[in-house]
């Protein structure tokens, strides 16, 4: 089972869009996928057609110890399920402040999935912050995928994100690595996009070999700016259901193939993504 946190501290870079549509691409390829919505805004849940009002079991109930992950997991399509979220999850930051071992609550809740081979992929849509929820996600996964809009401000914020992964790797989860950066909202005709991409490539290739991002790749797929990607959430559908022939669908299908190719290359060596990093 591959576990991937889709993470960026900056909002508006395509984090939820990437979480949902990458998960949908993997499900279309026959993989059993679960999306865990870790953002109290619940955008990933809504994107996949779930509106979680009062009384609906969510990931908050898992953190509160009132339900296990299978009790709150909802099937939303062939091979794809969601553990939804709503505004109740915002209370977890405060309620868990003094709980011992709070960083590992989600990892412990997911343990039987790994033991019983229940899923092929778990994709976590993380909130744009570095609180208890994000740390739980980083302790529960082995990979971080970073969606990045090719602007200089976004690139500047990346260093803080890398520092966070390094801190978690040292203190809480030695298996954690940054597996890749996906360039989103890409405008191929601009010099800025090319310059930012080159700066990012130089940073990654010049990093020390013992950093969690030492073997991170810049995915070849560039997710182009596409209005259909912005429209799909309002219909509660992935891009493949909403507009399967649009450029956004083609880009996320290709990104899914790249992620699957990583799995194939690792299976040849018998390594997990974290071991290969």
pLDDT in single tens digits along all 277 residues of the chain: 999 999 988 777 889 999 999 999 999 999 999 999 999 999 999 999 998 877 789 999 999 999 999 999 999 999 999 999 999 999 988 898 888 899 999 999 999 998 888 899 999 999 988 889 999 999 999 999 999 988 777 777 788 888 889 999 999 999 999 999 999 998 877 788 888 888 888 888 888 888 889 889 999 999 999 999 999 999 999 999 999 999 999 999 999 999 999 976 555 444 544 444 3
Q: What is the pLDDT of residue 265?
A: 59
Pairing of strands 121-125, 33-37: parallel
CB 184 within 8 A of CB 149: yes
Q: What is the pLDDT of residue 141?
A: 97
Average pLDDT, the chain: 89
Q: What is the pLDDT of residue 276?
A: 40
What's the domain count of the chain? 1
Q: What are phi and psi of 178, to 5 degrees?
A: -90, 110
Q: Is the pTM of this model over 0.85?
A: yes
Q: What is the pLDDT of residue 266?
A: 54
Report the b/e string of 13-28 with b at 16+ CB within 10 A: bbbbbbbbbbbbbbbb
What CATH number does residue 195 fall under?
Answer: 3.40.50.300
SS3 of the chain: helix, strand, coil, percent, to 5? 50, 15, 35
Q: What is the pLDDT of residue 105?
A: 95
Q: What is the pLDDT of residue 264?
A: 62
Range of the domain at 216: 2-276
Q: What is the pLDDT of residue 85?
A: 95
Q: What is the pLDDT of residue 242?
A: 97
Q: What is the pLDDT of residue 74?
A: 95
What is d(CA 138, CA 157) in angstroms, rounded to the nearest whole number? 18
What is d(CA 170, CA 139) in angstroms, rounded to the nearest whole number? 11
pLDDT per position as a tens digit, 130-185: 889 999 999 999 999 999 988 777 777 788 888 889 999 999 999 999 999 999 99
Q: What is the pLDDT of residue 190?
A: 79
């Amino acid at each position: 089972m591959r576990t991937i946190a889709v993470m960026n501290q900056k909002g508006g870079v395509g984090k939820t869009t990437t979480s949902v549509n990458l998960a949908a691409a993997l499900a279309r390829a026959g993989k059993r996928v679960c999306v865990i919505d870790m953002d109290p805004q619940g955008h990933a849940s809504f994107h996949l057609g779930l509106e979680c009002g009062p009384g609906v079991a969510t990931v908050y109930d898992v953190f509160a110890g009132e339900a296990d992950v299978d009790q709150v997991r909802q099937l939303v399509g062939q091979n794809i399920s969601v553990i939804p979220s709503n505004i109740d999850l915002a209370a977890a930051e405060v309620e868990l402040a003094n709980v011992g071992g709070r960083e590992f609550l989600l990892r412990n809740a997911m343990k039987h999935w790994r033991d019983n081979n229940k899923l092929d992929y778990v994709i976590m849509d993380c909130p744009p912050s570095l609180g208890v929820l994000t740390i739980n996600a980083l302790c529960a996964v082995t990979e971080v995928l970073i969606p990045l809009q090719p602007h200089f401000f976004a690139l500047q914020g990346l260093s803080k994100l890398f520092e966070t992964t390094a801190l978690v790797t040292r203190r809480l989860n030695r298996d954690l690595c940054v597996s890749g950066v996906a360039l989103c909202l890409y405008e191929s005709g601009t010099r800025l996009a090319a310059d930012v991409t080159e700066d990012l490539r130089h940073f990654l290739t010049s990093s020390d070999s013992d950093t969690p991002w030492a073997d991170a790749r810049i995915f070849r797929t560039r997710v182009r700016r596409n209005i259909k990607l912005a429209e799909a959430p309002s219909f509660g559908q992935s891009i493949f259901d909403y507009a399967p022939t649009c450029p956004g669908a083609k880009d996320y299908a290709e990104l899914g193939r790249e992620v699957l190719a990583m799995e194939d290359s690792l299976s040849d060596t018998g390594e997990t993504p974290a071991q290969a990093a």
